[in-house]
Amino acid sequence: MKVMLSIKPEFVKEIIEGKKLFEYRKTIFKKTNIDSVVIYATKPYGKVVGEFLIDHIIEEEPTELWNLTSEFSGITKNFFNEYFEGRTVGYAIKIKEYIPYEEPLDLSFFTNIKTAPQSFCYLQQS
Domain residue ranges of the chain, discontinuous segments joined by +: 2-123
Q: How confident is the model at residue 73 (pLDDT cuts 50, 70, 90)?
A: very high
Torsion of CA 32, 47, 82, 97, to 10 degrees: 50
What's the CATH fold of domain 2-123? 2.30.130
Residue 37 banded pLDDT, cuts 50, 70, 90? very high
Tell me: pLDDT of 113 over 90: no
Query: Residue by residue, what is the 3-state secondary structure of 14-69?
Result: HHHCCCCCEEEECCCCCCCCCCEEEEEECCCCCEEEEEEEEEEEEEECHHHHHHHH
Contact 103, 40 (CB under 8 A): no
pTM score, whole prediction:
0.94
Q: For a pLDDT cut of 90, what percent of the chain falls above it?
A: 87
